[in-house]
Structure 1
Amino acid sequence: MKIGLVLPSVPAYSETFFTSKIKGLQANGLEVVLFVNHFSSKTSLHCNVVSSPKFSKNKLKNSFISLHCFLKALFLGYASTRKLYLLDKKDNLSFAKRIKSIVINSHILTQKLDWLHFGFGTMAINRENVAEAIGAKMGVSFRGFDHYVYPLKNVGCYKILFSKKVKYHVLSEGMKSDLMNQLIPEENIIKITPAIDTNLFFNENSFENMPTFLTVARLHWIKGLDYILEAFSILNKRGFDFQYKIIGDGAEKERLQFLVHQLELNNKVHFLGKLEQDEVKQELLKTSYYIQYSHQEGFCNAVLEAQAMGKVCIVSDADGLIENVLDKKTGFVVPKRNPEALANKIEAVFNLNRDVKEFLIEKAVERIKSNFTFEKQINQFMDFYTK
């Protein structure tokens, strides 16, 4: 079986949710072809990588590139190209958009695949008919931003997609319910949660007199980091001693650093930047508590890794996080956008009896080992493609 996986770029080392899937499918005898917008030769993945057409700011040059791609699709994949044109016409796309569709998908139209799987819902926009055109089954994964946020800014962006015969992969029951509300049959929606390397991340917890907290996240407004800092400001004024580290980089770094300064937390809060996976593990070893207070979260691998390593996790009630952490059973869930409530929860959790914390950790570790391993995830994806 040959699987075509459409992604923005070749997965980086840290993107374990893709790399583990690809390696797992290959280990089970499936061939994987990557279709990417941005090609990188630096990859440990032993699979064919096909890059999309590259356009520049030069309109004349782009005209020649477009003509070349169109002719290539026409001569090397005439049947697929013709079918894509007719399917797009049936969806009432203009002539110009039909030609553009052929050009931007020319690198896929010449392929012979059993499945064409779009790694994010947004990757399937303007490509809704490509799988049918090449005679492949179509799969689409929704992971978070593409499901919850993008449609708010681009109303109706999935209208054509939701009218097609597609098998959907989602991360949570919440996502599944949302798609069912779009009148997509339940049997076409498969929940497969993220997974982690439990051989790398395992329980090594320790509690110290001064509580240490950690968050791993893009420095983006959607991660709710400003609310975490507000909560720690409240605790600091109460005389609560702590250290808080943030791993990650992003557009909000300067604003968050200034907020730390304004809240007089410079000696308490530390920005560590973007770290590799083994470096993240080393920071987790120094940490007792993990916080993920996002406004929206598809599921969050970092929270799984923290639980596997025996860290008491405090998360918001955003989307997949309420399935990732079971409130008062494997960690704690706090209503989002409420720094006062978060501050109170942090203080209450720190003051819990050590035996209670260790019981929570034990249950969390057991659940991770039972439900969120690479082996289980790959078995589910094999079922996704074969059943």
Structure 2
Amino acid sequence: MKVILLAGANSIHTIRWANGLQAAGLDVYLISQHPLMHQLNEGIHYYELPNRGVLGYFLMVSQVKKILLEIKPDIVNAHYASGYGTTARLVNYHPYILSVWGSDIYLFPKKSFLHKWLVKKNLLAADAIASTGHNMALETNKLVTLKKPIFITPFGIDKEVFYIKRNYSASGYLLEDKIVIGTVKSLKPVYGIDLLIQAFAQLKSHLKYTRPDLEKKLSLRIVGGGAELQKLVRLVANLKISDVVEFVGQVSHDQVPTELAKLDIYVALSRSESFGVAILEAGLNQCPVIVSNVGGLPELVINNETGIIVESENVNAAADAMQKLVIYPELIASYAKNAQQHILDNYVWDASVTNMISVFQSVIADSKVKV
């Protein structure tokens, strides 16, 4: 099967799809206006077009048409309902699947009437839609009534990369003298790092009087880079917790498992989140999670079994959840074990690739019936 991916080559998720499909035996072609930022498997055909920015999605149409006429793929899979979805609609090659990612559904349409119109038009033009989660599929259907299937195609996690078995100290934590709470996310407002910092400060303040033995062990580790760094550093200083908060900075994707392995508890208090790959990575790393009840995050967590789900923007609830795990470390080990098994049962990468290929086959077969 020949498949063309029309997507951003700068995204690790694009590259993982390309590599995974190629490793499964498909003939994969990747067309992008974004520069390649990660390693592609040998044998994948890569086209980086010179067009850039919003206008580039329109200017690249003729070039993409030419490539498609030469290759004659069995199917095209465009990723992102705004940019590459626009290119795919204008190219008008069928069959094609439009994969929605998150901000293209949750945020982009809210910018203006024009933005919403564009996404709706792109969704209607595709032969089928693919969504990483059920919540985003529901949001997609709220934008426009679709008389076509929405396939659920979750990002899978590489077992060989993220799987570990944790060993806890006698205290019940990873280290005898330290309890590490943290996150691995870009420092953007949407990911609620400020909420995490405020909740951690509240936890520390409360334990100072109720469990000083635990309070002195607390530390917060924030891994990631972004425009919010200085603002968050000032927040930490204002809350007088600079001595126990570490900003690690951005790390490469292959360093993420090592960073996760340093955390007793992973916290994601996102204000918007389409799916939550980081939650899967943490779970497979045998790290219990605390997440906000937004977007696709609650789909990935079994409340009070693999982690804890808290109300969005509720600092008090987040602090209480952290306190529960800190005071009862046996829950950390229990949730961690359950989380890892839940990911192994439902979200390993090989299953995701197999699922995507079956979606391709279904859409191709359906297009032949229509002809």
Taking a change above 3 Å as real, the CA distance of residues 23 and 268 of structure 1, as seen in their structure-2 partners, is: same
Identify the residue that residue 212 of structure 2 maps to in structure 1: none
Correspondent of 1:137 among 91, 95, 100: 95
Q: Which amino acid aligns with 1:220?
A: K
Distance 1:55 1:121 in 2: 17
Correspondent of 1:166 among 121, 127, 132: 127
Deviation at 1:353, TM superposition (A): 5.5
Correspondence 1:137-286 to 2 at 5 A: 137-153=95-111, 154-181=115-142, 182-185=144-147, 188-205=149-166, 206=168, 207=173, 208-209=175-176, 210-238=178-206, 239=208, 240-241=215-216, 242-286=218-262
Q: Which amino acid aligns with 2:64?
A: I
1:115 equivalent to 2:92? Answer no
Taking a change above 3 Å as real, the CA distance of residues 386 and 327 of structure 1, as seen in their structure-2 partners, is: same
Distance 2:282 2:235 in 1: 26
Q: RMSD of the TM alignment (CA)?
A: 2.3
- Count of aligned residue pairs for this structure pair: 337
Contact 1:131 1:138 survives alignment (8 Å)? no
Distance 1:278 1:7 in 2: 22
Deviation at 1:346, TM superposition (A): 0.7
Structure 1 segments (4+ residues) deviating >4 Å: none
Distance 2:57 2:197 in 1: 46
1:104 equivalent to 2:98? Answer no
Higher Cα Rg: structure 1 or 2? 1
Identify the residue that residue 367 of structure 2 maps to in structure 1: none
Give the TM-score normalised by the residue count of structure 1: 0.81
Distance 2:51 2:227 in 1: 26
Contact 2:78 2:88 survives alignment (8 Å)? no
Contact 2:188 2:226 survives alignment (8 Å)? yes
Taking a change above 3 Å as real, the CA distance of residues 27 and 125 of structure 1, as seen in their structure-2 partners, is: closer
Identify the residue that residue 22 of structure 2 maps to in structure 1: 26
Distance 2:35 2:288 in 1: 39
Taking a change above 3 Å as real, the CA distance of residues 129 and 283 of structure 1, as seen in their structure-2 partners, is: closer
| 279-288 or 249-258, which deviates more | 279-288
Deviation at 1:285, TM superposition (A): 2.1
Give 5+ residue unaligned stretches, structure 1: 57-96
Deviation at 1:236, TM superposition (A): 2.5
Contact 1:109 1:130 survives alignment (8 Å)? no
* Residue aligned with 1:218, SS: coil
* Residue aligned with 2:86, SS: coil
Distance 1:346 1:317 in 2: 16
Distance 1:358 1:55 in 2: 48
Give the TM-score normalised by the residue count of structure 2: 0.84
Give 5+ residue unaligned stretches, structure 2: 209-214, 363-371
Taking a change above 3 Å as real, the CA distance of residues 196 and 212 of structure 1, as seen in their structure-2 partners, is: same
* Residue aligned with 2:181, SS: strand
Identify the residue that residue 4 of structure 1 maps to in structure 2: 4
Q: Report the identity percentage.
A: 23
Identify the residue that residue 32 of structure 2 maps to in structure 1: 36
Deviation at 1:232, TM superposition (A): 1.4
Distance 2:228 2:275 in 1: 22
